[in-house]
Structure 1
Amino acid sequence: MMLRRDVDTSLLVLTVALTCIGVVMIYSSSAIMAEERFHDGFYFLKRQLVYTLVGFILMAAATYFKYQNWRKLAVPALLGSIFLLLLLFIPGVGVRVGGALRWLRIPGLTLQPAELVKLSMVLYLAHSLTRKKEKVRSLSKGYLPYMIVLGLLLAMLLKQPDLGSAMIIAGVALGMLIVAGVRWQYIGLTVLMSLPVLYFLVMQVDYRRRRILAFLNPWEDPFDTGFQIIQSLVAFGNGGIFGQGLGIGEQKLFYLPEAHTDFIFSVIGEELGLVGVLVVAALFLTMVLCGIRIALKCTDPFGRNLAFGLTLLLGLEAFVNLSVCMGLLPTKGLALPFISYGGTSLVVCLVSVGILLNISSSTGGQP
């Protein structure tokens, strides 16, 4: 399936570049570990290549699927993702890894419903905000219904537990509501009321409290709670300006936890150095600017809301992952879009780009 020629070529090139970087770095960061665990150094690479192929096929399909049609699918998609979240709690269906119940076991693969929830929530909000128009400024008819839906989703995510995805979804939802014209007073009051809840969720749960303390002073417990942050910072330090060289990094050798997923950016820092770090960060920043440009050029309110929501989702996830790896935010298990190992995340990101490309085609693509 060929991509349309009237799409934003800059966004397309950025997406291909980030995905290719991801494939290369997944192999570099996982080969030795995969050889020891599975006796196959290409174990993760082969699976990521399959996910990449599926993702690009779906992305190409999304460029031809008129974005207006997503309005009809918005509510069913949200309900479907909620159903998948409920399936997690059925014994034998949900897969618990590291104490978290975040994956569904499907014959031949595992699925992470939280990634689908992120996309479906953006679709739902874009559709509903467009339909309500000026009513979004009303507390009872506009704002509270969204908070009820958002609260339900966050409660289910926290039950897994998955605080990272919950905060991403909350951030994207509030961002879309602000852009749609919701009163700032409502947003501010919601944030203030959420602070005690957030404090309880963090400080009253042992492992989360320890992560916060480790973030503030990782050297106080360098072999336990501070281990991840310290090893990540060591990786960046080892990389210097130009890096140790692709495949030569040492921190991925059982020092850096989840080197091919949550902390793959740290591997980039060690092997490709400051130059590689700046290139990846610049690619994400440029992608966000492309998404904002698409949103601003779109004259259709639904397309504008959808483009902004998808851009915010991709940009916020990238920002949080990069910040965690560099020790600017507490450790949280979130994938780096397009680059981290993981099928559901990659496919959802590529489909999101496909939708953005279709929106861009309606405004004439890129000159």
Structure 2
Amino acid sequence: MSFRNVRRDPVEAVKNLAVPLDAKPNEEASQRPVDLVLAAVVVALIGFGVVMVYSASTVQGTTQHHDPQFFLKRQGSFALVALTLFFVTSLFDYHRLYKLTYPVLVSVGALLVLCVAGFGHTGGGATRWLSVGPIHIQPAELAKLALVSWLAYSLAKKAEKVKTFTVGFLPHLLVAGVFVLLCMKQPDFGSAVVLLLLTFTMLFVAGAKVGYILGATILGGAFAVISIVSREYRYARYLAWMNMDAHRQDLAYQPFQSVMSFGSGGTFGLGIGRGLQTLYLPEAHNDFVAAIVGEELGFVGVLGLSAIFFTLVARGVRAALRAPDDYGSYLAFGISAMFGIQAILNLSVALAILPTKGLTLPFISYGGSSLLMNAIAAGVLLNISRQGEKKTVYETPLPPDVSERRRDGDEGLPTDGDGAGDDLALPGLDDAEGAE
């Protein structure tokens, strides 16, 4: 396999003029130090997520499972597996994903099809899970990383034609569209929006024509409006969100209670474990965990959490800009966008800036599928940040006389006979001096 290098030496041709004709090129990839900031941010988010899930779930754990630590135990187990996957994935060269792109894409697509074909597990009015014994898998979470990986693969492969419509734009939009439609069918409107935004972001980064992206965005917006208006429950929830005061006891109950959580937290919050909104806010440990952060840690805590997510995205973009090839660059950009888009949308929903979409907050919300896939994605991102540029090293064969001396154990340079080794003995030079 070959990857188009995005870092080119402008004087490479000049350097090659000084290379001996019999020199053999050998590519060596340098390794950068581990991005400790990126690693620390991921570990901190996972640990903080366990704490907040416990704080937000004690009431539901008691009422639903007669165990206030029920969700803590499960999320703690998920966190241990996630940390292991994060560090293990960071050790594997991300180029190994290149060959797995299509198998992963097709497999995840098949899981999405199974989910909407009657094999899925229904919960909360949506069929978003596949059950394998006691394990529940959410294919939409897998679809995000699978689509990012495929887009990085395809955009790097078609880098020279990315500005064309039929080769560089339309195929990527069609594949993403299939995943979006399958998510809408579940229904999972939030994941569909994330997949669409990820596609547009990566196309823009790769250099696709802005006009194509804007046109597709307009069409996507029109499709979203039609999908909302065509389903009565979606339209009703939208109207309730527009007028929360009038619907705070029914359809707008969740967003209203979420905003109340932020308001009751004030500047510094009530303290971890002291929040009262867990008594009233459904899914406090899941989609609305940010509201509990706002209540228990206040405005300062939400600002700090936002800063941590910003740091995560910034380090990811840094890794993308320093990646040794287009594939790594697009992959890092896509993963960073995946974290950033989900965090922005989740916080916007929790603050009632956007209608409820059913999106998790990366690394923080309760759930195994989301946490494990985010950990794998973060591990890939950390590996990309460690990869340096490939440099060509030329190996020149040694002259026969030097090779013989090395085989005989003499590592010194040939001399003119006095053993000093200061002057090189050049063939024919002594004879020429004698002739003079």
Same fold flag (TM > 0.5): yes
> Which residue of structure 2 aligns with residue 142 of structure 1?
168
> Which residue of structure 2 aligns with residue 348 of structure 1?
373
The equivalent position to 1:359 in structure 2, one of 380, 384, 398, is 384
> Which residue of structure 2 aligns with residue 44 of structure 1?
71
The separation in 1 between residues aligned to 2:141 and 2:278, in whole angstroms, is 26
Amino acid at match of 1:208: R
Residue 74 in structure 1 maps to residue 104 in structure 2: no
The separation in 2 between residues aligned to 1:124 and 1:132, in whole angstroms, is 12
The separation in 1 between residues aligned to 2:253 and 2:63, in whole angstroms, is 22
The runs of 5 or more residues in structure 2 that have no matched partner are 1-30, 390-436
Does 149-158 or 302-311 show the bigger shift?
149-158
- 1:348 positional shift: 0.6
> Which residue of structure 1 aligns with residue 110 of structure 2?
83
The separation in 1 between residues aligned to 2:221 and 2:383, in whole angstroms, is 38
Taking the TM superposition and a 5 Å limit, the aligned residue runs for 1:202-217 are 202-217=228-243
The separation in 1 between residues aligned to 2:300 and 2:170, in whole angstroms, is 46
1:289-311 superposed Cα distances (whole Å, 9 cap, x missing partner): 11111111113111100000000
The separation in 1 between residues aligned to 2:42 and 2:32, in whole angstroms, is 16
Residue 335 in structure 1 maps to residue 365 in structure 2: no
Secondary structure at 2:251's aligned position in 1?
Answer: coil
- 1:197 positional shift: 1.6
Secondary structure at 1:224's aligned position in 2?
Answer: coil
The separation in 2 between residues aligned to 1:224 and 1:237, in whole angstroms, is 20
> Which residue of structure 1 aligns with residue 430 of structure 2?
none
Residue 314 in structure 1 maps to residue 339 in structure 2: yes
Secondary structure at 2:105's aligned position in 1?
Answer: helix
- 1:144 positional shift: 1.2
Taking the TM superposition and a 5 Å limit, the aligned residue runs for 1:213-362 are 213-253=239-279, 255-362=280-387
1:239-258 superposed Cα distances (whole Å, 9 cap, x missing partner): 111111211111111x1110
Secondary structure at 2:116's aligned position in 1?
Answer: coil
> Which residue of structure 1 aligns with residue 203 of structure 2?
177
C-alpha change, 1:5 and 1:143, in structure 2 (3 Å) is: closer
Amino acid at match of 2:290: F
C-alpha change, 1:160 and 1:15, in structure 2 (3 Å) is: same
The separation in 1 between residues aligned to 2:188 and 2:262, in whole angstroms, is 27
Kindly name which structure, 1 or 2, has the bigger radius of gyration based on alpha carbons.
Answer: 2
TM-score (normalised: structure 2): 0.80
Amino acid at match of 1:168: V
Taking the TM superposition and a 5 Å limit, the aligned residue runs for 1:3-42 are 6-42=33-69
- 1:276 positional shift: 1.1
TM-score (normalised: structure 1): 0.95
Secondary structure at 1:293's aligned position in 2?
Answer: helix
- 1:192 positional shift: 2.0
The separation in 2 between residues aligned to 1:151 and 1:236, in whole angstroms, is 36
The separation in 1 between residues aligned to 2:307 and 2:244, in whole angstroms, is 28
> Which residue of structure 2 aligns with residue 200 of structure 1?
226
Amino acid at match of 2:262: F
Amino acid at match of 1:26: V
> Which residue of structure 1 aligns with residue 138 of structure 2?
112
- 1:211 positional shift: 2.4
The separation in 1 between residues aligned to 2:282 and 2:178, in whole angstroms, is 32
Residue 101 in structure 1 maps to residue 127 in structure 2: yes
Indicate the structure with greater helix content.
Answer: 1
1:22-62 superposed Cα distances (whole Å, 9 cap, x missing partner): 10011111012201211111111111111111111111111
The separation in 1 between residues aligned to 2:33 and 2:217, in whole angstroms, is 41
Secondary structure at 2:131's aligned position in 1?
Answer: strand
Does 152-161 or 338-347 show the bigger shift?
152-161
1:319-353 superposed Cα distances (whole Å, 9 cap, x missing partner): 10011111211111000000000000000111111
The separation in 2 between residues aligned to 1:193 and 1:171, in whole angstroms, is 13
> Which residue of structure 1 aligns with residue 159 of structure 2?
133
Amino acid at match of 2:59: I
How many residues align? The count is 359
The runs of 5 or more residues in structure 1 that have no matched partner are none
- 1:108 positional shift: 2.4
Secondary structure at 2:382's aligned position in 1?
Answer: helix
- 1:203 positional shift: 1.7
Secondary structure at 1:137's aligned position in 2?
Answer: coil
User: Identity rate of aligned residues, in percent?
Assistant: 43
Amino acid at match of 1:20: G
Secondary structure at 1:351's aligned position in 2?
Answer: helix
Secondary structure at 1:127's aligned position in 2?
Answer: helix
- 1:274 positional shift: 1.2
- 1:102 positional shift: 0.2
- 1:275 positional shift: 1.5
Question: Are 2:173 and 2:199, in contact at CA under 8 Å, matched by a contact in 1?
Answer: no
Amino acid at match of 2:258: S
- 1:90 positional shift: 4.5
Amino acid at match of 2:174: I
The separation in 2 between residues aligned to 1:274 and 1:113, in whole angstroms, is 34
The equivalent position to 2:149 in structure 1, one of 108, 111, 123, is 123
Amino acid at match of 1:343: G
Amino acid at match of 1:348: M
Amino acid at match of 1:163: F
Amino acid at match of 1:260: H
